[in-house]
Amino acid sequence: MILPDIRDPRLITIRRGGTLEDADHHLLATWAADCAGHVLELFERERPGDPRPRRAIELGRAWARGEIRMTDARSAGGHANAAARDLRGAPRFAAFAAAQAALVAHVAAHDLGAAAYAIKAVREAAPQHDAGAAGRRECRWQRDRLPPAIRELVLDDQQARNDICWFVFDC
């Protein structure tokens, strides 16, 4: 489980009692989709005919643009999780990253799930002697793409949840 027991109100939308503005929620979803999309090939090499993770990323982006309902993105996230079910290693984590990216529409805090699973996928795909360095490079790649409006929020959240996210944000 990558969600904390006590949720940060900055990652809860205003209409649900938190302080997260819709525009920032959409930025989180787009960033999560970028993170998942960056490692999608690790899944697609293993299962080139399975469109579910790619679809989840696409619907996460569509939700952020206001083109679909949250429930459609959430459903796509569930299908991407199902695509991972019988896999191991990098392809599994890449599918999980896609699922988490789509689920940001439902719970903003899933943005770190997309990022964390993407880093895990890269680590798994790398030779064992380079896994740690590969993960750190991926983490830095992700941070370089953080929009300024949400950068501090995401970095604070990474620090707060690093321990339940397999310490992948030590980069």
pTM tops 0.85, yes or no = yes
pLDDT value of residue 1: 58
pLDDT value of residue 3: 84
Mean pLDDT for each 10-residue chunk of the chain (171 residues)? 85 96 98 98 98 98 98 98 98 98 97 98 98 98 98 97 95 94
The domain limits of the chain are 16-165
pLDDT value of residue 18: 97
Long-range CB contacts (within 8 A, 24+) of 9-17: 10/153, 10/156, 10/157, 11/108, 11/109, 11/153, 11/157, 12/108, 13/108
pLDDT value of residue 5: 85
Number of Cβ within a 10 Å radius of residue 85: 8
The secondary structure of residue 169, as a DSSP letter, is: T
pLDDT value of residue 4: 84
Identify any residues that bridge with 13 across adjacent strands, giving them in sequence order. Answer: 20
Residues 39-64: tens digit of each pLDDT: 999 999 999 999 999 999 999 999 99
Say which residues have a Cβ less than 8 Å from residue 148's Cβ, sequence separation at least 6. Answer: none
Closest CA to 26 of 60, 57, 56, 58: 60
